[in-house]
Amino acid sequence: MVLSFGIYAQDTIDINNLRKDEIAGFKLYPNPALADVVYVTTEKNNLKEVRIYDVFGELVLTDKLTGKAMNISRLSPGVYVVQVTENDKSITRKLVVK
């Protein structure tokens, strides 16, 4: 017997439980990513520096976002760690690319 299931979610942050050094209103979606673009939004949507690491901790992609869309077409399917920095605050989340 073979079972298969998928979970799709949007990564959100509860402002009431936010640490002082994390970015308010952070969202990374869609996750898992099925296309070549993911969206990174925050409460202020200022300039963001995005760094993406593979499971071995190697930096595989960097980008500076003035908008919300980020091109991830260079990423192979797998699990990544996304670090976003905005206004001297930083947040780290997992991203799955299918």
pLDDT value at position 78? 97
CA distance 34 to 98: 5
| CA–CA distances in Å: residue 55 to residues 35, 60, 68, 79, 81 | 20, 10, 24, 7, 7
Q: Quote the pTM value.
A: 0.79
| Residue 12, domain member (yes or no) | no
The span from the CA of 52 to the CA of 57, in Å, is 9
- At a CB cut-off of 8 Å and minimum separation 6, what does 39 contact? 27, 28, 29, 30, 68, 69, 70
Can you give the CATH number for the domain in which 46 is found?
2.60.40.3080
Range of the domain at 52: 24-97
In order along its 98 residues, the chain shows pLDDT tens digits of 554 444 445 544 444 455 567 899 999 999 999 999 999 999 999 999 999 999 999 999 999 999 999 999 999 999 999 999 999 999 999 999 99
Q: Which two tokens stand for residue 51?
A: 């760094």
Is 71 part of any domain? yes
- Residue 62 falls within a domain, yes or no? yes
Domain count, the chain: 1
